Structure 1
Amino acid sequence: MWVGGARAIVLDDKDRMLMVKQHHEDHDIWMVPGGGIEDGESAAEAAVREVKEETGLDIEVGSLVWHVEEVSERGQRFVNFFMCRLVGGTLSLGEDPEFDGDSQVLRDVRFMSREELMKVQCLYPGYLRDEFWDIYERGEFGRNVFKIR
C-alpha cells in the first residue's frame, strides 16, 4: 500500500527558501516543511497543515513541482512537492504532534538563500540545490514532475 506525503517549497521576498532542520538517526537533515497525508485530506491540505505545525506560517498551495515515488525495503511511498506562497503567520519552530516533548525531531526553522543551501551537508531532496532553481528561473513548474528514488 502506498503511503503519501506532501512538502511545501516557500520562498520569501528575497528568494530565500523556508527550511526546517530535523534530527533522524543521529544526524541533522535540512528539508522543506511537510509530512504525511492524513485520512480525509488532500496532499495540498496536508502541505498547508504541516507548514503551520512546523513553522507557524500560513501558505497557499500553488503548482506541483515534483511527485517523487520510492519503492524500497521501507515500503511504497510518494511525496508531492508544491510551490507555495506565504500568506501570513509568524515564523517560529513548531512541534510534531506525533511525538511527545522529549522525542521531537524538529531542531530549527529559517529561510535560507540559494548560496546557503549549496553549503548544507545533509539536504533532502538534493535537487533543491540545483534543479529547483533552474525550474524556478524558467518558470516551468508542472513539467517533468515525476521522479523515482
Structure 2
Amino acid sequence: MQTVKDEIGALYGGSVRVRVCGICVKNERILVVNHSLYGKNQLFWSPPGGGIQYGETAVDALKREFEEETGLKVQVGSLLFIHEHIGHPLHAIELFFRIDSFEGTLVKGSDPEITSDGQIIEEVSFMSWTEIQKFEESQLHRLFSLSDSLEGIFNLGNYISDSTRD
C-alpha cells in the first residue's frame, strides 16, 4: 500500500520543482496551511503555495494555488525572497510573494494532483506569531525560524537555503 509520503515522492521527487508561496497577513495574523506532507498526524505549517505549471506565470500559479488550498482570491504583490528546499526526495525552489489583498471565505481546500485518499491539507488558519512560535521548528516552514517577528518575514530578502529535512 502506497503511503502519502510515497505518493508525494512519486509526484514531485527526483527533480527540481519551482513553487510559489504567498505571505498573507490579516489583523497581525499570517495565513498558514497544515500539510501532512511528512505523514499523517505529522504537522507541517507553511504559507499557502504550490507548483508552477508549464506555461503558467508565477503570479497566476499563486492565485490558483491560493484558491485551491484556501478558497481565497488574492491580489499578488511584490517578490519577497527565494527559498531553496532540498530534503529527499524533494528539491524545490520557492518564490515567496507578498499578498496585497484577498476576498472570499477561508476554507480547507485540496490538492488536485493528489488522490482523494492521499490529500495532505489538514487545516488552514490565520495564526498570530505567538501561536506559530509554540510549534517545534520541524513542524514549521523554515522561514519561521529565520525571523523573530511577523514583520521580520517581510525583511528576509534575497536567497535562503534549507537542506536539513529528510
1:19 is matched with which residue: 12, 28, 32?
32
2:93 is matched with which residue: 78, 88, 95?
78
- Tell me the residue number matched to 1:135: 152
1:102–1:118 Cα change, 3 Å = same
Q: Matched residues in 2 for 1:30 and 1:61: separation? A: 21
2:43 is matched with which residue: 28, 37, 41?
28
RMSD in angstroms over aligned alpha carbons? 2.3
Listed one character per residue, the Cα deviations across residues 91-135 of structure 1 (whole Å, up to 9, x for unaligned) are 000111011221110000110011111112211124366256343
Q: Matched residues in 2 for 1:129 and 1:117: separation? A: 13
Contact 1:117 1:129 in 2 (8 A): no
- Tell me the residue number matched to 2:124: 109
Q: Which structure has more strand as a fraction of its residues?
A: 1
1:118–1:70 Cα change, 3 Å = closer
- Tell me the residue number matched to 2:113: 98
Deviation at 1:146, TM superposition (A): 1.3
Listed one character per residue, the Cα deviations across residues 38-94 of structure 1 (whole Å, up to 9, x for unaligned) are 111122211111010000001111121211124565465310011102321110001
- Tell me the residue number matched to 1:146: 159
Uncovered stretches (5+) of structure 1, i.e. residues with no partner? none
SS in 2 for 1:108: strand
- Tell me the residue number matched to 1:5: 19
How many residues of Structure 1 are paired with residues of Structure 2 in the alignment? 144
- Tell me the residue number matched to 2:141: 124
Identity, in percent, stands at: 31
TM-score (ref. length: structure 2): 0.76
Uncovered stretches (5+) of structure 2, i.e. residues with no partner? 1-14
User: Aligned letter for 1:38?
Assistant: Q
Q: Matched residues in 1 for 2:145 and 2:57: separation? A: 23
Residue 41, structure 1, aligned to residue 56, structure 2: yes
Listed one character per residue, the Cα deviations across residues 3-28 of structure 1 (whole Å, up to 9, x for unaligned) are 2000111001x110011101023312
Q: Matched residues in 2 for 1:73 and 1:107: separation? A: 22
Q: Matched residues in 2 for 1:33 and 1:44: separation? A: 13
Q: Matched residues in 2 for 1:16 and 1:83: separation? A: 14
SS in 2 for 1:80: strand
Contact 1:66 1:145 in 2 (8 A): yes
